[in-house]
C-alpha cells in the first residue's frame, strides 16, 4: 500500500513536468477544460502528460513555409513518443520576396513582433509546459526566439530548412530569388531580353525551403544553432529531406527531455551564447539583419547586448565562408559537405567560441562538437584561417555625424573599404529604384533612401530591389547606398543601413541635400556628412517632424511603440535590463 507521502512525492514529480498544464487541467473543477480537449484527440491518460505546444508557421503564402505543416506533424510524433502530449497551433508568416519594393514590405518587420506575441499568447493561454517552434522565412525565426525567451519554458527551435537551387536547361548557373532581382536590373540595362527574364523568374525558386544563400533565413538559423537553441545541424539541412524530418521528431522529444532535466531557455541564452552566435554569423558572412534580430532576442532574454559587441567580436573573427550573396556558393552546397558544424568546431579550436555554453541537448557546445568530422579536403566553400575571405568582420558598425547612434554596413571588401561621393536623396524606396533603373543614378553617387526607418516607414523596409538593381546595372563598385531602412540578406555592394537616429525623429539623414559630399569609411567605421557644423545646425533648426503615414491599424501601433534600430527595433517600452 502506498503511503500518503509517497503519493505526494509522485504527484510533486509529475507536476514538475507539468507546471502549467496541471493548473489548467487537474481536479474536478477543471472538468470543462478537459472536456474541450477530448474532441481534439486527448484520451484520459493524456491529461497526466506534459503539454508540448508545436508552434507551426505553415502557410502557402511563401515557399519558405509551405511544407512546415508536415514538419509540425513530425515534431508531434517526437513529443508524444517521449511521453508528452503535443498540441499543434499556427501563427502567421509573410513573404519578403513577394512584398519587396512595395508598401506591403512595411509589414515584414512588424510580423516579427506579431509572431512573438501570438506564440506567447497561445502558450500562455493554454498552459503549455514547453514547446517546439518551427520557422522558415526570415521573421519566423527571431519572432519564435523572442517568444521562447519571454516565456522561459523548455523549448527548441527548428529551422524549416533551405531551398534547393533553381536551374535553366543549358545554363550552368545555380539560381535563387536574388538571381531574379538582379535579372530585373540586367533587363533594365538591356543586358537580357524579356524571354530571358521570364526564364529566370520561372525557374529560380523550384520548391519548398528558405532562400538559398547566406541570406537572413539561413543566417538566423545558423545563429540560433550557435545560441544553443536548436539541435545540432538543424540549421544546415535541406527543407525536403529525411534529415529535416528527423530533426523535427528529435526536437519534440528534446523538449520533454528539457522538462525532465529542468533546463529552461534562459539557462542557455547567456551573454556567452550571444557572443557565439555573433561569431558564427561573421564567419559565415551572414546578413545585416542578424544585428537587428540578435539585439531583439537578447532584449527578450534580458541579456545586455549592444551594437558595439559586434564591433568588439568582429575585430578578431574572420569571414571564412564563400557563400552568396557576395560569394559563390549556396547553402545547399554547404549542407552537402557537412553544414556549419565543422566550421563551429574550427572556431572552437581557435578559441573563438565559448565551449562551456549550454545547449538544448543538455550538453555544452564543446561536448556537442567533440565528434564532429572536418570538411572534406577538396571543398572550397569554407576557407582556412590563413586565407580568409576577409580578415575581420564584414558587419561594420558605423558612427559619425550621419549616424550618431550607429549604422550597420555589410562590407565584404570586394567593393572597397572607403567611398566618397555626392548625395542623391530620395524620400522612400520607390523613387530611388526608378532613378536607378532609368539611369538618373550615376557613378559617384551616394544614394540616400530615407524615411524608411522603424517609425518613419513605418516598418523598416528591406532594400533588396534597389541594391539588386544597382548590381544588375553594373554599378556595384561605382555607387554607394545609405538608408535608415534595412537590407535583405541578399543585398550586397557598398551599402549601409539601420542609420540611427532615423529621419522621422530628426536624425542627420533627414538633413542631407542633393550634392552633399558623403564619406563611408569602413576602416575607421565612420559615416560622415562632409558639410560645416554650422550648416548642419542650421538645417536641424529648420527641420520639422513629418506627419505619421499611418494613424490606425497595426502599422500605426507599431510606429507608436517601436524603438530605434540600434536597440533592435523592439516594441516594448521598458528597455531597462
Kindly give, in sequence order, each residue whose CB lies less than 8 Å from that of residue 120, ignoring residues fewer than 6 positions away: 147, 150, 151
The DSSP call for residue 373 is P
* Beta strands in 454-536, from DSSP E residues, in sequence order: 480-483, 495-500, 517-521, 526-529
Rounded Cα distance between 345 and 348, Å, is: 5
Place of cell 505543416: 69
| 133 contacts 224 by C-beta, under 8 angstroms | no
How far is the CA of 492 from the CAs of 101, 106, 429, in angstroms? 16, 21, 17
The runs of H, that is alpha helices, within 262-314 are 265-268, 271-284, 289-300, 307-314
| 476 contacts 470 by C-beta, under 8 angstroms | yes
Give me the sheet containing 445-450, strands edge to edge: 395-398, 406-410, 495-500, 480-483, 445-450, 418-427, 517-521, 526-529
Q: Residue 574 in 3-state DSSP?
A: coil
% helix, strand, coil for the chain, step of 5: 45, 15, 40
The DSSP call for residue 212 is S
Rounded Cα distance between 44 and 512, Å, is: 68
Spell out a b/e string for 142-173, using b for 16 or more CB atoms within 10 Å of the CB, else e.
Answer: bbbbbbbbbbebbbbbbbbbbbbbbeeeeeee
Q: Phi and psi for 15 in degrees, rounded to 5?
A: -70, -25
The runs of H, that is alpha helices, within 301-439 are 307-314, 331-336, 341-349, 365-369, 429-437
Rounded Cα distance between 310 and 278, Å, is: 7
Rounded Cα distance between 30 and 64, Å, is: 40
Beta carbons within 10 angstroms of residue 228's beta carbon: 27
Among 346, 506, 480, smallest CA distance to 422 is for 480
| 381 contacts 334 by C-beta, under 8 angstroms | yes
**Cell (9 digits) for 36:** 474541450
How far is the CA of 242 from the CAs of 67, 204, 245, 249, in angstroms? 13, 23, 5, 11
The DSSP call for residue 358 is B
**Cell (9 digits) for 564:** 530605434
Give me the sheet containing 130-135, strands edge to edge: 85-90, 51-56, 130-135, 155-159
Rounded Cα distance between 258 and 256, Å, is: 5
Which is catalytic among the residues 488, 491, 564, 566? 488
Spell out a b/e string for 61-73, using b for 16 or more CB atoms within 10 Å of the CB, else e.
Answer: bbbbbbbbbebbb
Is 488 designated active site? Answer: yes
Question: Which residues belong to the active site?
Answer: 488
Amino acid at each position: 500500500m502506498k503511503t500518503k507521502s509517497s503519493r505526494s512525492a509522485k504527484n510533486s514529480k509529475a507536476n514538475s513536468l507539468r507546471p502549467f498544464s496541471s493548473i489548467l487541467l487537474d481536479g474536478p473543477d477543471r472538468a470543462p477544460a478537459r472536456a474541450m480537449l477530448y474532441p481534439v484527440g486527448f484520451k484520459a491518460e493524456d491529461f497526466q502528460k506534459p503539454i508540448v505546444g508545436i508552434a507551426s508557421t505553415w502557410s502557402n503564402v511563401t515557399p519558405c513555409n509551405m511544407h512546415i505543416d508536415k514538419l509540425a506533424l513530425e515534431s508531434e510524433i517526437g513529443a508524444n513518443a517521449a511521453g508528452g502530449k503535443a498540441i499543434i497551433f499556427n501563427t502567421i508568416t509573410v513573404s519578403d520576396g513577394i512584398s519587396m519594393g512595395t508598401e506591403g514590405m512595411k509589414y515584414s518587420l512588424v510580423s516579427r513582433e506579431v509572431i512573438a506575441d501570438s506564440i506567447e499568447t497561445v502558450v500562455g493561454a493554454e498552459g503549455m509546459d514547453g514547446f517546439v517552434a518551427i520557422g522558415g522565412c526570415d521573421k519566423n525565426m527571431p519572432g519564435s526566439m523572442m517568444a521562447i525567451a519571454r516565456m522561459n519554458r523548455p523549448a527548441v527551435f527548428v529551422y524549416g530548412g533551405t531551398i534547393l537551387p533553381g536551374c535553366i536547361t543549358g545554363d550552368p548557373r545555380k539560381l535563387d530569388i536574388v538571381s531574379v532581382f538582379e535579372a530585373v536590373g540586367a533587363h533594365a540595362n538591356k543586358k537580357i531580353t524579356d524571354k530571358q527574364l521570364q526564364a529566370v523568374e520561372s525557374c529560380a525558386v523550384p520548391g519548398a525551403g528558405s532562400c538559398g544563400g547566406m541570406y537572413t533565413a539561413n543566417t538566423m538559423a545558423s545563429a540560433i544553432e550557435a545560441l544553443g537553441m536548436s539541435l545540432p545541424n538543424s540549421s544546415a539541412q535541406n527543407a525536403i529531406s529525411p534529415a529535416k524530418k528527423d530533426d523535427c521528431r528529435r526536437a519534440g522529444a528534446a523538449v520533454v527531455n528539457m522538462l525532465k532535466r529542468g533546463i529552461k531557455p534562459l539557462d542557455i541564452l547567456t551573454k556567452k551564447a550571444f557572443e557565439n552566435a555573433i561569431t558564427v554569423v561573421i564567419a559565415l558572412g551572414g546578413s545585416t539583419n542578424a544585428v537587428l534580430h540578435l539585439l531583439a532576442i537578447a532584449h527578450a532574454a534580458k541579456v545586455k547586448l549592444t551594437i558595439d559587441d559586434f564591433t568588439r567580436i568582429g575585430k578578431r573573427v574572420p569571414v571564412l565562408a564563400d557563400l552568396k550573396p557576395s560569394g559563390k556558393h549556396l547553402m545547399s552546397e554547404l549542407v552537402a559537405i557537412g553544414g556549419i558544424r565543422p566550421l563551429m568546431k574550427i572556431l572552437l579550436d581557435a578559441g573563438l567560441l565559448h565551449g562551456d555554453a549550454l545547449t538544448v541537448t543538455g550538453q555544452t557546445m564543446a561536448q556537442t562538437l567533440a565528434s564532429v568530422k572536418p570538411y572534406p579536403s577538396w571543398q572550397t566553400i569554407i576557407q582556412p584561417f590563413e586565407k580568409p575571405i576577409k580578415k575581420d568582420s564584414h558587419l561594420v558598425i558605423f558612427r559619425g555625424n550621419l549616424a550618431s547612434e550607429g549604422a550597420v554596413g555589410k562590407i565584404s571588401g570586394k567593393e572597397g573599404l572607403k567611398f566618397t561621393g555626392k548625395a542623391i536623396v530620395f524620400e522612400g524606396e520607390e523613387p530611388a529604384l526608378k532613378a536607378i533603373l532609368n539611369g538618373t543614378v550615376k557613378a559617384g553617387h551616394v544614394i540616400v533612401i530615407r524615411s524608411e526607418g522603424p517609425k518613419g516607414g513605418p516598418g523598416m523596409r528591406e532594400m533588396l530591389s534597389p541594391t539588386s538593381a544597382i548590381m544588375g546595372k553594373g554599378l556595384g563598385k561605382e555607387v554607394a547606398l545609405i538608408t535608415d531602412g534595412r537590407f535583405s540578406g541578399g543585398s550586397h555592394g557598398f551599402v549601409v543601413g539601420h542609420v540611427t537616429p532615423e529621419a522621422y525623429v530628426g536624425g542627420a539623414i533627414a538633413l542631407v541635400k542633393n550634392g552633399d559630399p558623403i564619406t563611408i569609411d569602413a576602416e575607421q567605421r565612420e559615416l560622415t556628412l562632409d558639410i560645416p557644423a554650422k550648416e548642419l545646425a542650421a538645417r536641424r533648426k529648420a527641420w520639422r517632424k513629418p506627419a505619421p503615414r499611418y494613424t490606425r491599424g497595426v502599422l500605426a501601433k507599431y510606429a507608436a511603440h517601436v524603438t530605434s534600430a540600434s536597440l533592435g527595433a523592439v516594441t516594448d517600452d521598458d528597455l531597462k535590463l
